Structures are given as structure tokens and as C-alpha cells.
Chains A and B, each alone.
Chain A
Amino acid sequence: MRTTFARPEKFSMYWKETMRQMNDIGIGSLVIVGLISIFIGAVTAVQFADQLSGSLIPRYYIGYIVRDITIIELAPTITCLVLAGKVGSNMASEIGGMRQKEHIDAMDLMGVNTAAYLILPKLIAAVLIIPLLVSIAAIVSVMGGYIAAVPFGELTDPEYVRGVRSFFVPNYVFMMYVKAAVFAFILTSVSCYQGYYVKGGAIELGEASTQAFVYSDILILLADLVIAILLTG
């Protein structure tokens, strides 16, 4: 880890690589993040509408619940769990493939700090971009809740909007960004570690990719609990 954060040989090369990673992680994940977020919001709205039917709780609470559950938990956690699969396994495969084809040895021999050059841009890009993706996920998720609830008569447009605007706690947004940044760091560092230290052939590379995803997800869920305890305690 210390080697990863060493001083870059040439800032412009690291900058270029970071920009490339930001494009791959950010633009490359927009569609999947958008899709899962719409469905997360829609399902949440539909399920709670059903839970609240016949109860004394006002209908506009559906919007409030969709907003808070999305911000506090679903947007950062589900998004990052999915990104651990999409982005994380991709990173593990990319770096693992470079290890197997001796690209990393070639760079080491040139004098490149490969741990820094291959991993640091990915870490920086992920920690900057994934919180933005989570923000988009939260917004799209709330819209998904609207699409699932209002046109189908579960509640009216003013009711949903009233719910989304009620009882807003800014601290929850802070918690969302803390989770997003921490999860981004976890999924990137775990995936890059798996790829960088892979040994063997195609089967081992496949295993490394899978382990990157599995270990990232486990650590993300653990971190989720720890952050929830720390920030709500």
C-alpha cells in the first residue's frame, strides 16, 4: 500500500491514466447504475405502498421512505455491490492479464513503480467518480419510485413530491457520500490486489476476478455496518 502512494515518476502520465479510468468507471457504468436505480426505487415504492395500504400512515410517506432508504442505504450499497462486479472484476482481470503477459515485469524493468502506476489512478478515479454515480443513483431511484407509484394510482403526484420533500435530514446525504467513498476505496483496492498478485494461467485469473468481487462485497457490507454504527451512534 505504501508503494502505491509513492511519488509518481511523471505526473502527466498518471493524470492521463486517471482521466482514462474516470471515463471507464464513470461513463462506462452510467447505464447499469441508471437501470438498477430505477428498479430499486420502483420496487421500494411498490412494496411500501402495499405495506401502507389500509394503515393509518399517510400515503405521502411512501415518497419519504423511498428517499431516505435510497439515500441512506440502497444507492451507496447496492450501487457499489454491483460496481464491485462490473468495475472490480474488470480491474482484477486487466491487471491480472498484464501480470500474466509480463507487462508488469516489463514496466518494473523500465523503472516504473507498477504498484503506483497501475493502482493509484484507479483508486483516485474510483473515489472521485463513484460518489457521483451514487448521487445519480439516488436521484434516478427516487424518480423510479415516482414512475412506479404515481401513474399506477398508488398515490398522486402532489403526495409523492410532498413525501420526498418531508423530514429531510442533511446528515443522511453526508452518510451516503462517506459510504460511497469508503466502498469505492474497498472495491478498487481489493480488486487491484487480486489482479496484481495473481499467479498461474487463465483459471487462476478467473478465480482472481471472482474473488475480487466476492471479497469486495463482503468488505463493503461489513463497512456498511461499521459506518452505520459510527454515524448514527
Chain B
Amino acid sequence: MIRAENIFKSFGEVEVLKDISATFEQGKTNVIIGKSGAGKTVLLKLLVGLLQPTSGNIWYDSINFNALNKKELRELRMKVGMLFQGTALFDSLTVEQNVKFPLDMFTKMTKKEKLDRVNYCLERVTLSGANDKYPSEISGGMQKRVGIARSIVLKPRYLFCDEPNSGLDPKTSIVIDELIHSITVENNITTIINTHDMNSVMEIGDTIVLLNEGVVAWRGTKGEVLESDNKVLQDFIFASPFLQKLRKAAVGGE
């Protein structure tokens, strides 16, 4: 579980996040949503430690993330996997070398053990046989899957995904969503996804946090989304007239 407690974040005079408190549960796909500029990416970067909060605390289970020294932070980070929006695959390494990189850096596994683990992860993301390809030789969806494989190779306890479906077609997005969700449940890890793809949210979001102008505007489950009267939530999700009609039909409106 990850808990954000009274997080404030400013860049100079500009306050980007104000008093954010949220709990992201273990074994569940926790989703952060909000319009562009709401502070989703900043919150995600704070949670993984790429940025430091101006004030507030972040807890990884019982560990105060902000109080860790460099050595402890490095050890905790080995339990963290992240899928970046642009995948951040190393261009000059093959798919196999990309996925194997964390194993090479942090484990004393033999060559065979590493290869077995890499092949298992690639098979898990249905990319067996792509070992010798370079990132430039595979599609966007395949790159995302390699990114997922690399993020799970060290068996993380926490998984972060920054806009995992950006740039993907709807069908591939569903594949990525299902992959992330099944990995979360199988391994009982805490997964946090930053997205504004409402299809993803409604398909796999177990808990949802809506950010608006740097504050938590709503939190709940996907089941509560349709029934909520929260205006900010409704304006965000049902922005188009077509979806507004669908919602009215679903809740028995006019």
C-alpha cells in the first residue's frame, strides 16, 4: 500500500498540488485521473521520488519514503517498477538486453537464470521471440509491453504506469490494460496508473482519485462513478454531449 499524506508541491511561486491525501491499495489497480494540468504527473513523480514534495509525507506500507537515506532509497527502488509514457526503452539495447538490464545491475543470477527470467517476462507480455529486436523495430504497443516486462523483471511490490495507453489504438489499449490488471492481481502488488483514458478507468480502475487544479476533487470506485453527483467528476467524464446522453440513460434520467 502507498499513502500520500497532506502533500503540497510548489514550483517557485506556483502551487501545483495542495493538500493531497490518498491511499493506494495493495492488490488493486489504483487510478489517478484529471484533465491536463491537474497535477497527475507531478503527483506520480512525487510518489516515485523523482520529485520531492514541498511538504507532506509519502508512506510505502510502514516506510516513510521521504525519510530514507540514499542507500535505503536505492534498496526500496528495487521493489518499484515503472512504465513511462514514452516507455524509456534504451534504444541501443535489444528487447532482451532492455529487460535484462535490472537483473544485470542488481542480481547475482547466472546467465541462464537471467535468460529464463527474461523469457518468462516476455512470455507474460506475449512477446516471446522478440528478444533480438531493437525498440525502433517494434510497434508502439510492443514497446509498451517490453516496458511492462522490464518493470516486472525484479518482481516489484509497487508498479507505476504513466499514461500507459498514450498513442495506442483502442484494441491495443485493452491488451495493455488487461496485462497491467492481471499482473497486479496475480502478484498482489500496489499499482498506480496515471491516465485520462476513461475506457481504461472503467475497465480496470479499482480505486479512482480525481485531481482538479491541484486538489483531490473526488475519490471512489468505478461503480460509484456513474451515480456520483460530484460536478467536477461529471464534467470530466461526461464532457461530450453523446456521453451525457448515455449517462442519463444509464441512471434513468430524461
Residues of A with Cβ closer than 8 Å to B? 9-10, 13, 101-103, 105-106, 108-113
Report 16 cross-chain contacts, Cβ distance below 8 Å, ordered by A residue.
A9-B105, A10-B105, A10-B106, A101-B88, A102-B88, A105-B50, A105-B84, A106-B88, A109-B48, A109-B77, A110-B101, A110-B102, A110-B154, A111-B74, A111-B78, A111-B106
Interface size on B, residues (CB 8 A): 20
CB distance from A115 to the nearest CB of B (A): 11
Starting from the known contacts A10-B105, A111-B105, 12 additional A-B residue pairs (CB-CB under 8 Å) come to A13-B104, A102-B86, A102-B88, A106-B84, A108-B50, A108-B77, A109-B77, A109-B82, A110-B78, A110-B105, A111-B74, A111-B75
> What is the CA–CA distance of A109 and B84 in the complex, to the nearest angstrom?
11
Report the nearest B residue to A98, measured CB to CB: B90
Cross-chain contact B50 with A109 (CB below 8 angstroms): yes
> What is the CA–CA distance of A102 and B162 in the complex, to the nearest angstrom?
12
Cross-chain contact A101 with B106 (CB below 8 angstroms): no
**10 interchain residue pairs of minimum CB distance:** A111-B77, A106-B88, A102-B88, A111-B74, A111-B78, A109-B82, A102-B84, A110-B102, A10-B105, A103-B88
CB distance from A18 to the nearest CB of B (A): 15
Interface hub of A103, A109, A110 (most chain B Cβ within 10 A): A110
Cross-chain contact A10 with B104 (CB below 8 angstroms): yes
Picked from A9, A10, A106, A112, the residue with its CB within 8 Å of the CB of B82 is: A106
CB distance from A117 to the nearest CB of B (A): 8
> What is the CA–CA distance of A110 and B106 in the complex, to the nearest angstrom?
9
**Is B122 interfacial (CB 8 A cutoff)?**
no
Cross-chain contact A101 with B78 (CB below 8 angstroms): no
Cross-chain contact A110 with B88 (CB below 8 angstroms): no
**Is B80 interfacial (CB 8 A cutoff)?**
yes
Main secondary structure of the interface of B (DSSP, over half): mixed
Picked from A10, A13, A102, A110, the residue with its CB within 8 Å of the CB of B77 is: A110
CB distance from A80 to the nearest CB of B (A): 27
> What is the CA–CA distance of A113 and B80 in the complex, to the nearest angstrom?
15
Cβ contacts under 8 Å, A101 to chain B: 86, 88, 91
Cβ contacts under 8 Å, A112 to chain B: 105
> What is the CA–CA distance of A101 and B86 in the complex, to the nearest angstrom?
7
> What is the CA–CA distance of A13 and B104 in the complex, to the nearest angstrom?
7
> What is the CA–CA distance of A102 and B82 in the complex, to the nearest angstrom?
11
CB distance from A26 to the nearest CB of B (A): 19
Cβ contacts under 8 Å, B77 to chain A: 108-111
> What is the CA–CA distance of A113 and B75 in the complex, to the nearest angstrom?
12
Cβ contacts under 8 Å, A13 to chain B: 104-105
CB distance from B200 to the nearest CB of A (A): 21
Picked from B49, B50, B86, B106, the residue with its CB within 8 Å of the CB of A9 is: B106
> What is the CA–CA distance of A10 and B107 in the complex, to the nearest angstrom?
9
Cβ contacts under 8 Å, B80 to chain A: 109
Report the nearest B residue to A12, measured CB to CB: B104
* Residues in B43-69 with C-beta less than 8 Å from chain A: 48-50
Assuming the contacts A110-B78, A111-B75, asked whether A103 and B90 have C-beta atoms less than 8 A apart, the reply is: yes
CB distance from A71 to the nearest CB of B (A): 38
CB distance from A226 to the nearest CB of B (A): 34
Cβ contacts under 8 Å, B90 to chain A: 103
> What is the CA–CA distance of A111 and B74 in the complex, to the nearest angstrom?
5
Report the nearest B residue to A113, measured CB to CB: B74
> What is the CA–CA distance of A61 and B78 in the complex, to the nearest angstrom?
65
CB distance from B106 to the nearest CB of A (A): 6
Cβ contacts under 8 Å, B74 to chain A: 9, 111, 113
> What is the CA–CA distance of A109 and B77 in the complex, to the nearest angstrom?
6
Cβ contacts under 8 Å, A113 to chain B: 74
> What is the CA–CA distance of A109 and B104 in the complex, to the nearest angstrom?
15
Report the nearest B residue to A102, measured CB to CB: B88
Cβ contacts under 8 Å, B91 to chain A: 101
* Residues in B96-137 with C-beta less than 8 Å from chain A: 101-102, 104-106
> What is the CA–CA distance of A21 and B79 in the complex, to the nearest angstrom?
30
> What is the CA–CA distance of A110 and B74 in the complex, to the nearest angstrom?
8
CB distance from A79 to the nearest CB of B (A): 27
* Residues in B176-230 with C-beta less than 8 Å from chain A: none
